[in-house]
Amino acid sequence: MLDLSLVFIISSLCLLTLSRCALAAWQWQRVQQAGGLLPILIGGLRIDANQIAIIVGIPLLLAPWLGHSIPAVELTGIWFQIAWFLLVLLEVSTPQFIYEYDTRPNRLYVEYLKHPQEVFGMLWKGYKIVILAAVVVLGLFAWLAHYLFGHGMPDATMPWWQDILFFLVAAALIFLAIRGTLKHRPINPSTVAYCGDSMLNTLPLNSLYSVTYAIYSMKNERSAADIYGKLSSDETNRIVQQCSGLPAGPADIPTLHQQTSIRPRSRPLNLVLIVQESLGAQYVGNLGGAGLTPELDELAKTAWNFTRAYATGTRSVRGLEAVTAGFPPTISDAVLRLSGAQSNFFTLAQLLKQHGYRSRFIYGGEAHFDNMKSFFLGNGFDELHERSSFKNPAFIGTWGASDEDMFNKLHGLLAEPPSQPTLTLAFSVSNHSPWEYPAGRIVPDGNPATVENTVRYADWAIGRFFEQAKQSDYWENTVFLIVADHDSRVGGASLVPLRHFHIPALILGADVTARRDDRLISQIDLPPTLLSLMGLNTEHPMIGHDLTQTGGGRAMMQYGENYGYLKDDALIVLEPYKEATQFRYTAPAIYTPITLDPDLSREALAHVLWPYWAYRNQAYTLPHLRQKT
């Protein structure tokens, strides 16, 4: 078993590396433009080690006790033949899949397997020569697999203490290989993503890993129709279009529409999205909170300050989904973590790229957390600045570089002489358990390691950055959004605790007029509004309101398995497998049950069904991206 395992490890590494090099050679022009072959090979070695360790793990760990058994050796040989053939099968099918879809085999590959008759008929009619060549290659590799793994010999017996030592060493190595990193989070596709070309970011993967990870990720997808109730797709789209004031769009992207700016500009403005970790309204003085944010309160006086903005969820990925893509919440995981949204999915970066913008993401932590790195690089972002790119940070905590380090990085990038307009997404980390921040910035109240003191520090960092920004050349050419991703400590004795979805949201910079806006709005309304302020006439599928012209008056949020749809003071709550309920909401926490309005209930149902439908049907995209899917 030991010899078989060693042969499998070496042969698999050779197979996958040669396949990866061949794919890179085929796409060499793109590989060169993205920085060469080295990151593909290094990332590939890490992914392959993970994949191979999963396959050989059990045989290696059992080898000290069963390696001398002929039946165990024969069974191991069969297992390795099957595994190696699967590796070969997926690699052989990869070039044609990349040719068709510009990515390695993924969830779409799995979807096709559900319809073998139709798919094989299509392939046979259009690709006879390719199929015949693949069959020949697979036959040769099947023979090679039998040659390599079909004639294993029993291992020699070892002293008992060597068996135990081998087991411990093997277990440690297998664990490290499967985990793939000594950092906080185990390896995933986002770990080895390295550039803004989504196809190249799949080359460090192997195709068996890519497919199995897609299958694993599908657990995050849940159909709202199975849980809350059903509407036809036509009616769902009609209601969503009507509520968003949109005309009927094309069948493949029903919400695609033209948005005209109220303020056309000869020179496009830069856009900076500052997403503050866990900064709920409960802490913000000008929103009736605890008064822990004097800097933010001062900025609100000179900003377009939305006093009734509501987050779409309770996790960072949900807030990032809303702010960067304008995508509404669902009972499924946020699209950042869904395999079907890792490329050709709409984001502001995808849209602004058409207008000559360069987009970048700044994060003080490890950007592969929550799959942010893979999602952003695969959907229009050109640069990623994470913890490893920060030089001499002032403070490193559990979650990464402090907020002041993130803002220093942001200021430095904005101050560089611009060659083109930019979109910059800056995501803070400090305001998070275990409440770590550099000493000497604030005077803590009591125990320094509390959420209240961390909010004070995060606010201090915001104020310090904007002092610099207002004195910089880029100030007059940039629109800034400050918005929380979500509140902290979300909970309460209500089906959807709305007070904990209330967040700060303010727009400032350039020539933004200061005003206090008391309209009820959602996070998804912010991206369309920013586009209008930037002076861009655009075409996009976002259903959020352009608040420069009209809109507001409704918000939507996912709280665990409950969905809330707030329109004016009427709250519809959808619970799994139950009838909808309706309340009259009086902030901050009074819910008065009232008779259900059937039309409003259908409106809420349409808004929770539509995102899943749009995701599954690849209908949340742009026309030129749709052609790639």
Flag whether pLDDT at 113 surpasses 80: no
Other beta carbons within 10 Å of 257: 20
Q: Which residue do the tokens 């012209």 mark?
A: 549
pLDDT confidence bin for 629, thresholds 50/70/90 = low
Quick: pLDDT tens for 543-592: 999 999 888 999 999 998 899 999 999 999 999 888 999 999 999 999 99
More confident residue, 331 or 493: 331
d(CA 384, CA 382): 7
Residue 355 assigned to a binding site: no
Fill in the DSSP letter of residue 333.
P
Give the SS3 label for residue 189: helix
**Cis (ω within 30 of 0) for the bond into 434?**
yes
What number of CA atoms fall less than 13 Å from residue 572's CA on the CB side? 23
Angle at 9 between CA 8 and CA 12, to 5 degrees: 75
Sheet containing 304-310: give its strands across.
383-385, 358-363, 422-427, 270-276, 478-484, 502-508, 304-310, 515-522
Flag whether pLDDT at 118 surpasses 60: no
Residue 432 assigned to a binding site: yes
More confident residue, 483 or 113: 483
554 DSSP β-pair partners: 567
Entry field: residues in the chain: 629
Percent of the chain's residues with pLDDT above 70: 98
d(CA 431, CA 284): 14
Q: Looking at residue 162, what is its pLDDT?
A: 87
Range list of β-strands (E), 112-208: none
Stretch 1-26: mean pLDDT, rounded?
94
Residue 277 assigned to a binding site: yes
Regarding the domain delimited by 224-626, which CATH topology (the fold level of the hierarchy) does it fall under?
A: Alkaline Phosphatase, subunit A (3.40.720)
The answer to whether the Cα torsion of 431, 400, 35, 625 is positive or negative is negative
Quick: pLDDT tens for 595-623: 999 999 999 999 999 999 999 999 999 99
Residue 459 assigned to a binding site: no
Range with the largest mean pLDDT of 218-222, 366-370, 565-569: 565-569
Other beta carbons within 10 Å of 501: 27
Domains of the chain by residue range: 2-219, 224-626
d(CA 407, CA 393): 11
Q: Which residue do the tokens 């920060």 mark?
A: 390
Nearest to 489 by CA among 521, 455, 515, 442: 455
Flag whether pLDDT at 51 surpasses 60: yes
d(CA 234, CA 213): 32
Residues recognised as catalytic: 316
pTM over 0.85: no
* Strand 478-484 to 270-276 pairing: parallel
End-to-end CA distance of the chain: 44
pLDDT confidence bin for 125, thresholds 50/70/90 = low
Nearest to 546 by CA among 514, 570, 521: 521
Give the SS3 label for residue 545: coil
Contact 378, 342 (CB under 8 A): yes
Quick: pLDDT tens for 383-434: 999 999 999 999 999 889 999 999 999 999 999 988 899 999 999 999 988 8
